[in-house]
Structure 1
């Protein structure tokens, strides 16, 4: 997790995602309009850091969202993360009167030094239409929140649950939220889907779509997409065939892993809704940005600085199918607080020859995931006999994206400049899914690879290591 001021850029990669049932756009706003089509109150919020986070509402002790707002009881907006599996909440000023204290404390550290820490407590938790008896970390006073959220809910595979490990030798049940939802609803197919929204205006808007046990009606073609194997039983990782840049194909470098069924030409790739950017091999980064006029690679940043009007033609290949990236996601703009104006970076960064360390070769965050509709199936991890898998459906049309890039870029820059003219708080806490940064970073990120200042803009790059 990475803390920032308004003048800074948090880029720790790896954490959060948001929920929503059958899709219906909502009126933008901090709380939006809650209705039956969106029981999760799913929102895309980027009003402080300039990076999107995707949040939903978690209620405890039977208090729903509207009641919580009215009486300041505990209905909390939490960042949702495919890169982690635990639920923690900032319980400052709240007494969980009906919860049982297990007597066990748990600490979740992030790469920027922020932490979520406190007792593991068990009680009723409501997420959308589902109420389950749930173990969570009560973390009053945590500095790991950001953009107004009050915690994090991981929707990753159970194998990385720190709460589960902490309760393993006790009589308490430490299953994840998703495990408990599927156990309480055995007829519900054990998958969720996500389609992240894109907004170039700072503020809050509909987050897109998250469904549990069903697909979005207008994107039902995802059911026919190739089933990409989940090769690591503890994480949403699958196999990347390569990338295509301006029509030219680039095979991966040598992988650091050797999973069953993995070809030597495939990279192990983690899909993480919590990270705003993506971590890829240096040879890929050079192929994407190295020939862009005016682009410069910064060793200290592990990223390229690029002209803001750079339109990148890029696709990622999974299961033999190309998934185009919108050029607006390949270039990141931030306000330069010392010189004025906008500074732009690559939407993909690197951490060396390969993308990551112990978890995967590559981490693809929001800059990739906003271009696909993704289905994550738990398979026999929670029920049945089939192995977990991922399906992807391209949602970016190359021609349309190219035609609208300049107008979207101008809109984003104008919004960033407006944001930069507002008073800046001394700090904005960010969190991540397994150990990292929020706000565009990841609560999954355990170690910060770099935290440097360039043109007055801090760029923190994190890698998931747990």
Structure 2
């Protein structure tokens, strides 16, 4: 899994169809649809990406209900896509999934023009799917393609490294984390949403309304309500709200030692973010351009916080589902540096 474009997208290789058509997709636990720009897409954004052509695939099928009933529209925080669903064979590494619902995008907003990935690989639950179809991970389980019913995500803590991350379907690479792996149950099976006990600074609770956290590999920030973002940024020295940008600028980028450690209490365990974790350069090509706080207004719910990549680069994460009980869980452990995986193996 490789990240370019200033670490705003984590993506890898997949293939769809027979014969295989190759694409890059962004792996996103905060959405639930697999889509690719399709041949016939009329939008300017599609010109810069590999195009999926179901007419060139002998395994492509129109799902039951006919093409007229299978149009979809997906709106994101920035951008939107629209198209038609086709069932086709999906291949991810050694895993093959037959009849995977694949969105062929025929219109896309300009936001996707410069995207590092061709399309999106949703890893959330079916309840979030705009195509009303089982997402790839759950079809992998149904097709008995996994050694264990889980996937795990490691985002490299070293932002300067070429190897930006790794996703493992059906196992856990024990070299990607240190210490114990602690799991907590999913409380809302749409997002991978888990209960959150509190957020603390210097041992004191920050007064926030959020009680759940959606673990989202597709988010470059930690999003929350306006009031919660204001409360957290109030305890960060040098933080000032920029209303036009909807973000908090930080004035002391060269003195991170003066900023506090911020602790998330989840499942009775503390997960600390150091100042370097939640402080982002406004322009990573110019270290003098200032920096911003990762705590940003933008949650869709008063009770929900979006736990994005600033947290996930510090903490390795696992996502498991038990089809017999319908229960799900998320696990966290401290992420290891890249070199630690050299002698490790993936385990189920």
TM-score of the aligned structures, taking structure 1 as reference length: 0.60
* Conserved? CA contact 1:62–1:125, under 8 Å: no
**Partner of 2:195 in structure 1?**
239
Q: 2:265 aligns with which of 305, 317, 324?
A: 317
- Alignment partner, residue 71 of structure 2: 105
Q: Shift of the alpha carbon at 1:306?
A: 0.7
Where structure 1 has 5 or more consecutive residues not aligned to the other structure, the ranges are 1-41, 65-73, 165-173, 256-266, 398-466
Q: Secondary structure at the match of 1:148?
A: coil
Deviation at 1:244, TM superposition (A): 2.7
Whether the 8 Å CA contact 1:241–1:252 is kept in 2: the answer is no
Deviations 1:192-242 (A, max 9, x none): 1111124544xx8323221122111225777x5443121112221011111
Work out whether 1:128 is the aligned partner of 2:84. Answer: no
1:58 aligns with 2:14: yes
Structure 1 CA distance for aligned equivalents of residues 85 and 248 of structure 2: 42
Q: In structure 2, how many angstroms separate the alpha carbons of the residues matched to 1:336 and 1:385?
A: 45
Once residues 369 and 141 of structure 1 are traced to their aligned partners in structure 2, the CA distance between those partners, rounded to angstroms, is 31
Distance 1:310 1:287, change over 3 A: farther
> Contact conserved, 1:83 with 1:236, CA < 8 A, in 2?
yes
Say whether the 8 Å CA contact 1:158–1:234 is kept in structure 2: yes
Which of the numbers 176, 180, 194 marks the counterpart of 2:153? 194
**Structure-1 separation of matches of 2:108 and 2:227:** 38
Q: Which structure 2 residues correspond to residues 206-285 of structure 1 after superposition, within 5 A?
A: 206-219=163-176, 225-245=181-201, 247-250=202-205, 252-254=207-209, 267-281=211-225, 285=229
Q: Is the 8 A contact 1:87 1:136 kept in 2?
A: yes
RMSD: 2.9
Superposed CA deviations along residues 86-140 of structure 1, whole A, max 9, x for unmatched, are 100012455322212341221212344x322222111111112111121111114
- Residue of structure 2 in register with 1:365 after alignment: 308
1:360-380 C-alpha deviation (Å, 9 max, x unpaired): 42111111111101111122x
CA distance in 1, matches of 2:200, 2:224: 14
Where structure 2 has 5 or more consecutive residues not aligned to the other structure, the ranges are 40-50, 338-348
Q: Give the number of equivalent residue pairs.
A: 311
Give the match for residue 160 of structure 1: 128
Q: 1:291 to 1:132 in 2, by over 3 A?
A: closer
List aligned pairs for 1:35-114, cutoff 5 A. Answer: 42-46=1-5, 50-63=6-19, 74-92=21-39, 94-96=52-54, 97=56, 98=58, 99-102=60-63, 103=67, 104-112=70-78, 114=79
From the superposition, tell whether residues 396 and 57 of structure 1 become closer, same or farther in structure 2 (CA, over 3 Å).
closer
SS at match of 1:178: helix
**Aligned position for 1:388:** 328
SS of 2:62's equivalent?
A: strand
Q: Name the SS of the counterpart of 1:388 in structure 2.
A: strand
Describe the SS at the equivalent of 2:124: coil
Distance 2:163 2:284 in 1: 28
Cα distance in 1, alignment partners of residues 84 and 224 from structure 2: 37
Distance 1:346 1:396, change over 3 A: farther
- The normalised TM-score by structure 2 is 0.79
Determine the structure 1 residue equivalent to 2:317.
374
Deviations 1:49-78 (A, max 9, x none): x342110111122456xxxxxxxxx31101
- 1:243 Cα offset (Å): 2.0
Structure 2 distance, partners of 1:292, 1:175, is 42
SS of alignment partner, residue 83 of structure 1: coil
RCO greater where, 1 or 2, for CA within 8 Å and sep 6 or more?
Answer: 1
Distance in 1 between residues matched to 2:232 and 2:52, nearest whole Å: 48
Q: Relative to 1, partners in 2 of residues 1:160 and 1:284: Cα closer, same or farther, differing over 3 Å? A: closer
1:141 Cα deviation after fit: 5.3
Contact 2:151 2:171 in 1 (8 A): yes
Task: Name segments (4+ residues, structure 1) moved above 6 Å.
Answer: none
Contact 1:62/1:126 (<8 A) preserved: no
